[in-house]
């Protein structure tokens, strides 16, 4: 008989205790309780569950199960236009013209650079950590900031070594990296994995410029669609993607169940 849960090797190693996930997205509260009971018997301490609809339980009942809604994850999609390099530059200029800031020279493609090194920098590390500020690993009070930061630094490292991304693009200001985005061909779509602009460099059009760069890269790869996943709570990111022509495709509700404690 197939188990209704799966042990996650990477997460178990990273956190230092058994971690798993419930494999079915459509469970009644009673069925979910049964699966969590089996997870507890297996020795799991933390269990993830994602669902297409929010769990219909009072908050105190969810807490009694050791659970907490930690994320409403949204997926955005858009079509990729096949455009030339000059059209890309015009797109960036148009984007920057809509910003209520002093003009900057992001339309010069030298300011959006392919990051070629296989090792990180302090600026990239800081940006990777900012990427996760609204993530379920940051908002779950049972997960330390050290672990949340470590997870996103690991994501960055695996992007640099081409495990989780094909390319990384950066924006520099006064010689310092102030923005970054990772691009990957994910299931035939041009996917954004990590995207961040430093808090001190926002409202200058860098975010839109980086998104447009990924769309340009996706077109060069012959990809016809682009995708990105973010958190609904990350309102700025959602607005950015919508302004860049992405449309909301789906929402999934993520829960963390701590079986060794009660919230």
Q: Give residue for tokens 């409202």.
A: 203
**pLDDT at residue 156 in the model:** 98
Domains of the chain with CATH codes? 5-73 (no CATH), 75-250 (3.40.630.30)
The model's pTM: 0.86
Confidence at residue 84, expressed as pLDDT on a 0 to 100 scale: 45
Give Cβ neighbours of residue 12 (< 8 Å, ≥ 6 apart).
Answer: 18, 19
pLDDT of residue 51: 96
pLDDT of residue 35: 96
The confidence score (pLDDT) of residue 92 equals 52
**Which residue ranges of the chain lie beneath pLDDT 50?**
83-86, 96, 98-110, 262-263
The tens digit of pLDDT for each residue in 20-50 reads: 999 999 999 999 999 999 999 999 999 999 9
Structure tokens at 65: 């199960």
Can you give the pLDDT at residue 2? 67
- Residue 89 confidence (pLDDT): 54
Token pair recorded at residue 157: 């490292």
Name which of 258, 254, 207, 213 is nearest 232 in CA terms.
Answer: 254
Is the separation of the CB atoms in 250 and 83 below 8 Å?
A: no
Structure confidence at residue 41 (pLDDT): 94
Q: Cβ–Cβ contacts within 10 Å for residue 195, how many?
A: 23
pLDDT the model gives residue 260:
79
Structure tokens at 177: 């990296």
Question: Given this model, what pLDDT does residue 71 score?
Answer: 97
Under DSSP, the state recorded for 106 is T
């Amino acid at each position: 008989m197939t188990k209704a849960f799966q042990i996650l090797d990477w997460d178990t190693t990273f956190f230092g205790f058994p971690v798993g996930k419930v494999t079915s997205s459509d469970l009644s509260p009673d069925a979910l309780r049964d699966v969590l009971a089996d997870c507890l018997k297996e020795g799991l301490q933390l269990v993830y569950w994602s669902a297409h609809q929010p769990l219909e339980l009072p908050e105190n009942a969810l807490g009694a199960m050791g659970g907490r809604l930690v994320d409403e994850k949204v997926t955005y999609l858009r079509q990729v236009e096949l455009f030339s390099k000059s059209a890309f530059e015009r797109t960036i200029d148009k984007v920057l013209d809509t910003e209520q800031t002093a003009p900057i020279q992001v339309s010069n493609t030298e300011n959006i650079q392919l990051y070629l090194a296989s090792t990180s920098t302090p600026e990239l590390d800081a940006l990777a950590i900012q990427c996760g500020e609204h993530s379920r690993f940051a908002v779950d009070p049972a997960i330390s900031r050290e672990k949340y930061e470590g997870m996103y630094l690991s994501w960055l490292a695996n992007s640099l070594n081409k495990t989780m991304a094909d390319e990384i693009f950066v924006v520099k200001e006064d010689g310092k990296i102030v923005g970054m985005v990772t691009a990957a061909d994910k299931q035939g779509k041009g996917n954004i994995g990590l995207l961040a602009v430093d808090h001190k460099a926002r409202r200058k059009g860098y975010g839109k410029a980086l998104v447009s760069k990924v769309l340009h890269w996706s077109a060069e790869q012959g990809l016809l669609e682009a995708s990105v996943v973010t958190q609904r709570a990350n309102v700025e990111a959602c607005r950015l993607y919508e302004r860049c022509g992405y449309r909301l495709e789906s929402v999934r509700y993520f829960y963390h169940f701590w079986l060794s404690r009660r919230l």
